[in-house]
Amino acid sequence: MANVPGAENGDAAETADPFADREWSPDEVAYNGKIINVRLNDGSVDREDIPEQMYKDYLGGYGIGARLLFDRIPAGADPLGPDNVLGLMPGLLTGTPIFGNRFQAVCKSPSTGGWGDANCGGDFGPYLKFAGWDGILFYGQADNPVYILIDGDDVSIEDASEYWGQGAIEVENAFKEKYGKKTSVACIGPSGEQLSYLAGICNEHGRLAARSGVGAVMGSKKVKAVVVRAGGTPRENMLGRDTDVRELARQSRNEFIAPLRDFFAGFGTTGISTGSAHNGDSPVRNWGGVGIDVLPEVDEMSGMMFNATRMTHAELEIDPATGMPPIDPDHTPAPRAVDVNGKAVRHKSYGCWRCPMACGAESIESPHGTVAPGFAEAEHEKGVFKYPVDTHRAEYETVASFGTMNLTCNIDMLQAANHWCNEYGLDTIGAGTTISFAIECFENGLIDLEDTGGVELTWSNDDGIMEMLHLIGKREGFGDLLADGMQVAAAKIDEQNGDNRAQEFRTDVGGQELPMHDSKLQPEYWTTYKLDPTPARHTQYEGNSRFGGPEYPAAPRDFKDYNNRGEHHKGASEYMHITNSTGMCQFIMMAAPTDRFPQWINAVTGWDLSGEDLQLAGERISNLRMAFTVREGDNPRERFAPPRLWGGEGTVQKTGPLADVILDIETLETDFLNACDWDTETCLPSREKLESIGLSDVADALSV
């Protein structure tokens, strides 16, 4: 392996230490001040130093990613071609005591043609920063499969031919066997290798940067994995590990995280499955049904059915001094308690690196079957479903996209679907909802058994759903047609039939499949789904947040009240950009008072940023993402969006909690665009706006 040289920009190879003039030692700050550039065309790697001001302006994660990629990806670049740049960027707080563990994959999206990013937890982000790096950018394309090995300053490009074709979980295990347990792996599965737009990047067996087709971009570059080695213990590696910082983290956990922690550690996101189906949040039957009408057995998908009884702090091995579960480099989770009435999927809980929520879990056994060697094999009237006994518990989005969307509540099928999506490296939202689109096409005669290769695509047919999932993951048979999502699939079906009937059954926005939250219940989701640079993204808006600088109007509690929604949404979305760019979990954000962000960031950087400073950083990131998207020809106002999403003609629900709700989408969109100072027809940011936030060069590039 070779020591990484300096950036090839005319400067000396060994540039000055970015912390040389600081009073703090590098061990006490949250960032390393450098990233890796991997140039796949010629097989070289080099170091690039990032100035401190860039961290202040863009924080980290996709904030810095957006700044770098706007400048480095040429307009009109092919998302799967050599001119696209893929970045894996940890957040500013990632790897510190302040709960940061996330990284973002950034690139031009093959799904939408605009800005693409995807968020991931696990331990890859912290390990990359422990190794001394704040990100890695990939340029060009390799001729043959490779993986990147990072061991401190030693970075090398290695041959990955023997790993090409392996599943994401399989290859992660192989690299940990080769390089040791103190290793983190970000990799693609077969779907990424075969350039599926539904492909993500996998870490820790089931944490995926799943959206925007980022796995396809990694596959197009012939990069199978990034392997990061870290010596020492997590405490020795931790950035910003000053005693006062650890005390601040402990106080924050005890003060406001504990109530949410009890819920998430007990039930995970599946805890909202039943309630969301009852209140209208969960879409049902490809967004065409009402949960309480067409899926009365929905209570079978409750968090209690996916989990054992809630455990006490003693059973969870919570440290009373820190309020945290045990932290160790192997992330060994504590076993769960007994089943609920003998039916719940037994599991053991765990969290991403140093996360106090511990919302994740690994299954131990099925409620219906026996445990074969290494696998739960569940046999009942709906078929046989196999998945490893240590597979991740399905999250809410998976339960809804494969469950309510396809009219099934079979826990074993949902667990199996979740596992195989992780192994193939597939976005569970995209895979589950694309199958529901195909079922409705089948039901209406647009496709038949000859098209599907004999797979019976009907509602509640768990065997058919699983069979089609495997075909999508392998890109075989009819799965090849579905592997790029429903926008591409609908176009191919319509071309085959000589009409446009498949468009009626699409439930994507601009090429990205919708998540499992109905905007008719919370109207700002419409604006997010339709207008965000990454469309159909529920994680770009959080309805209850206000940033701790300027006071934005709170969202009206009555979902039919449109007063101040645009201004509120602007502030809330900027708050989300801060959360994502710092590498924070959004569940922490839901619990934390917003004025804690300046306190946390300043504690691990030595800066003196105010809430207004951070809001300005969020606004810069928001404008950069939109500028990139519009530059690439993706006008959010012109995107396809399904009438079922807002209550268009012939789609208004007649029963249930959202009966007769029709969104005023024109008001929602124009209010938000006006609040952002973006053109209401083109979505272009104004020159005045860009200049006011320090982005004059972006205004010049856009010719506004």
| Tens-digit pLDDT profile for residues 294-335 | 777 776 665 545 554 333 334 434 333 333 334 333 333 333
Q: What is the CATH number of domain 517-702?
A: 1.10.599.10
Given a cut of 50, is residue 293 above it in pLDDT? yes
Residue 412: predicted pLDDT: 79
> The pTM is what?
0.89
Pairing of strands 86-90, 103-108: antiparallel
% of the chain surpassing 90 pLDDT: 61
The secondary element (H helix, E strand) that includes residue 279 is helix 273-279
Q: Around 443, how many Cα atoms within 13 Å sit in the side-chain half-sphere?
A: 15
Name residues whose C-beta falls within 8 Å of residue 71's C-beta, 6 or more positions apart in sequence.
none
Pick the closest to residue 588 from 316, 357, 245 (CA basis).
357
Asked whether the CA dihedral 189, 195, 199, 200 is positive or negative, the reply is positive
Residue 214: predicted pLDDT: 99
The neighbouring-strand residues paired with 640 are none
Given a cut of 90, is residue 102 above it in pLDDT? yes
CA distance readout (Å), 573 to 260, 312, 677, 692 = 22, 36, 14, 19
φ, ψ of residue 376 to 5 degrees: the values are -90, 130
What is the pLDDT averaged over residues 510-526?
93
- Min mean pLDDT across 212-216, 599-603, 684-688 is at 599-603
> Domain 2-237 belongs to what topology?
Aldehyde Ferredoxin Oxidoreductase;  A, domain 1 (3.60.9)
Q: Name the H helices within 456-557.
A: 462-474, 478-482, 486-497, 524-531
pLDDT grade, residue 51 (50/70/90)? Answer: very high
Domain range annotation of the chain: 2-237, 271-507, 517-702
φ, ψ of residue 306 to 5 degrees: the values are -85, -15
The letter for the amino acid at 646 is W
Torsion of CA 477, 479, 483, 489, to 10 degrees: 90
Residue-wise over 247-274: b if at least 16 C-beta within 10 A, else e? ebbbebbeeebeebbbbbbbbbbbbbbb
Give the integer Cα–Cα distance in Å for 26 and 702.
38
Bigger pLDDT: 214 or 322?
A: 214
Beta strands per DSSP E along 114-174: 115-120, 136-139, 146-151, 154-159
Given a cut of 90, is residue 7 above it in pLDDT? no
Residue 556: predicted pLDDT: 58
Identify whether the C-beta of residue 308 lies closer than 8 Å to the C-beta of residue 346.
yes
Give the integer Cα–Cα distance in Å for 245 and 98.
8
Identify whether the C-beta of residue 430 lies closer than 8 Å to the C-beta of residue 198.
yes
Given a cut of 60, is residue 413 above it in pLDDT? yes
Q: Give the pair of three-digit tokens for residue 469.
A: 């999932």
pLDDT 10s digits, 326-364: 433 333 333 333 333 344 455 677 788 888 888 887 765
Identify whether the C-beta of residue 121 lies closer than 8 Å to the C-beta of residue 101.
yes
The letter for the amino acid at 62 is Y
Give the integer Cα–Cα distance in Å for 679 and 569.
16
> Domain 271-507 belongs to what topology?
1.10.569
What is the pLDDT averaged over residues 573-592?
87
Q: How far is CA 678 from the centre of its chain?
A: 26
Identify whether the C-beta of residue 353 lies closer than 8 Å to the C-beta of residue 237.
no
Most confident of 299-308, 369-378, 526-535, 537-546: 526-535
Residue 246: predicted pLDDT: 78
The DSSP output letter for 662 is -
Q: Name the H helices within 533-610.
A: 565-582, 586-591, 596-603
The secondary element (H helix, E strand) that includes residue 544 is none
Give the integer Cα–Cα distance in Å for 551 and 343.
48
CA distance readout (Å), 390 to 366, 422, 423, 441, 676 = 11, 12, 13, 35, 46
Residue 321: predicted pLDDT: 34
What is the pLDDT averaged over residues 673-688?
97
The letter for the amino acid at 333 is P
Name residues whose C-beta falls within 8 Å of residue 257's C-beta, 6 or more positions apart in sequence.
323, 356, 357, 588, 591, 592
The DSSP output letter for 159 is E
pLDDT grade, residue 153 (50/70/90)? Answer: very high
Asked whether the CA dihedral 72, 76, 78, 79 is positive or negative, the reply is positive
Q: How far is CA 44 from the centre of its chain?
A: 29
Residue 543: predicted pLDDT: 57
% of the chain surpassing 70 pLDDT: 80
Given a cut of 90, is residue 559 above it in pLDDT? no
- Min mean pLDDT across 176-185, 389-398, 458-467 is at 389-398
Residue 289: predicted pLDDT: 86
Block residue for tokens 């710092």: 582
Asked whether the CA dihedral 499, 501, 507, 513 is positive or negative, the reply is negative
Block residue for tokens 């087709």: 213
Pairing of strands 136-139, 34-39: parallel
pLDDT 10s digits, 366-409: 544 433 334 444 444 444 455 565 678 889 999 999 999 999 98
pLDDT grade, residue 258 (50/70/90)? Answer: confident
Pick the closest to residue 125 from 147, 154, 104, 142 (CA basis).
104
Task: Look at the chain and count its residues.
Answer: 704
Residue 136: predicted pLDDT: 99
Residue 498: predicted pLDDT: 98
Give the integer Cα–Cα distance in Å for 230 and 251.
28
Give the integer Cα–Cα distance in Å for 392 and 268.
11
Output Rg (C-alpha) for the chain, integer angstroms.
Answer: 24
Residue 277: predicted pLDDT: 82
pLDDT 10s digits, 10-46: 333 333 333 334 344 545 678 999 999 999 999 999 9
Residue 341: predicted pLDDT: 36
**DSSP string covering 17-80:** PTTTT-SS-GGGSS--SEEEEEETTTTEEEEEE--HHHHHHH-SHHHHHHHHHHHHSPTT--TT
Residue 370: predicted pLDDT: 37
